[in-house]
Chain A
Amino acid sequence: MEYVALIIGFLVILAGLWAIMTRKNIIRIIIGFSIFDTGLHIVIVALAYVKGGTAPILDSAVGIDDALNKIVDPVPQALVLTAIVIGLGVTALMLAFAMKMHKEKKTLDIRNFRDMKW
């Protein structure tokens, strides 16, 4: 099971990289960054999986006494929570830059922005 999630995560990362490198529209490149992010999150959560484990939430199904043997690792999930929020901040900033760039040149095609290219 953990292998499926891991493979999907890696494929999503590659799809995001492909979108970043081949798309010409800036919005689509930003979407590519988001997809790359999502793939990384899937990989981190997949690495935290413990065979036969369940969500690290203690209730009537997973008692406080045998939590040690029944739950998956909570630490990478907490890290992914942090990573999602920071990814959101980065995406929002990229969108703001894209709006600024569109205001300058009235286009979002990356080929028209050659000022920083050498």
Chain B
Amino acid sequence: MKNFFKIIIIAAFGVMLYPLFDSFSGNGQLNDLASFYAQKENVEKVNSANLVTAVVVTYRGLDTLGEVTILFLTAAIIAFFLTKQSEVRTLRRNSEIFQTAARLLIPVIIMVGVYIFINGHLSPGGGFQGGAVIASAVILMLLAFPNMPFNSKLFGLIESTSGLVFVGIAFLGVLIGTGFLDNAILPLGTFGELLSAGTIPIIYSFVGLKVGAELSNIISGLQSVQADN
């Protein structure tokens, strides 16, 4: 009986979604807002080859600031919830192969993450993706060497410094540029070069560091309260 109701609710949800599918006819061309972002003179104003990055960091940079704040709140709540336990954990020793492979792979993974967020304005990628890759290196480290002390104070310091630099660069736009998060306070450079697009690579690098540090803190918080049962 209960399952019957659940099936009815899911079917009703599917019926509700059907008109959305039915009335969708595909886009023949960009809408007005996207055309504004893709126009030649506006692309040259931001000078970022990756238009998604231009939207995320410059046009809608305030959204990104809110997003980073939400991540910070999550990390803070989890750190508040999951305080360290005093009980001793008996851990099985990891195999030699796993530990050696982890030692080899962790620097490479961190390097890939840094590459992704430094090239965020040129190729697919950016601060959030690069930060997630760096955090995956931290997961590997915590799995391979569970007894290694995790310095969450250092990660907290990296995180808050990066956040402050992000907001500081955004405010510099108000002081010497045309507005909050104006990326043209630094020279825009040549289109498609690594050092181009003004402050976008700098902001995205700090976002990457911040996200990586925050996710690492969340993971270590979840790991530190794990019991043996």
Contacts and interface: CB of A to CB of B under 8 A. Distances in A.
- Whether A associates with B in a native complex is yes
Interface of A: 2-3, 6-7, 10, 13-14, 17-18, 21-22, 47-51, 55-59, 64-65, 67-69, 71, 73-75, 77-78, 81-82, 84-86, 88-90, 92-93, 95-97, 99-100, 103, 106
Contact of B52 (A50, A74, A99): A74
A86 B67 CA distance: 7
Contact of A56 (B13, B52, B74): B52
Nearest to B54: A74
Interface string B41-61: 001100001111011100010
Q: Which 6 A-B pairs have the closest CB atoms?
A: A89-B74, A56-B51, A78-B55, A74-B51, A73-B34, A78-B56
A50 B50 CA distance: 17
Interface in B4-35: 6, 9-10, 13-14, 17, 20-21, 24, 26-31, 33-35
Contacts of B78: 92-93, 96
B21 A64 contact: no
Given A81-B52, A89-B70, 16 more contacts: A3-B26, A13-B13, A18-B6, A50-B30, A56-B38, A56-B51, A57-B49, A58-B191, A67-B38, A68-B35, A74-B52, A89-B73, A90-B74, A92-B222, A93-B74, A96-B82
Given A81-B52, A82-B63, A50 B28 contact: yes
Interface of B: 3, 6, 9-10, 13-14, 17, 20-21, 24, 26-31, 33-35, 37-40, 43-44, 49-52, 54-56, 60, 63-64, 67, 70-71, 73-74, 77-78, 81-82, 122-124, 126, 128, 191-192, 211, 215, 218, 221-222, 225, 227, 229
Contacts of A99: 82, 222, 225
Contact of A74 (B26, B37, B71): B37
Main secondary structure on chain B at its contact with chain A?
Answer: helix
B70 to A, nearest CB: 5
B24 A47 contact: yes
Given A56-B50, A82-B63, A22 B222 contact: no
Nearest to A52: B28
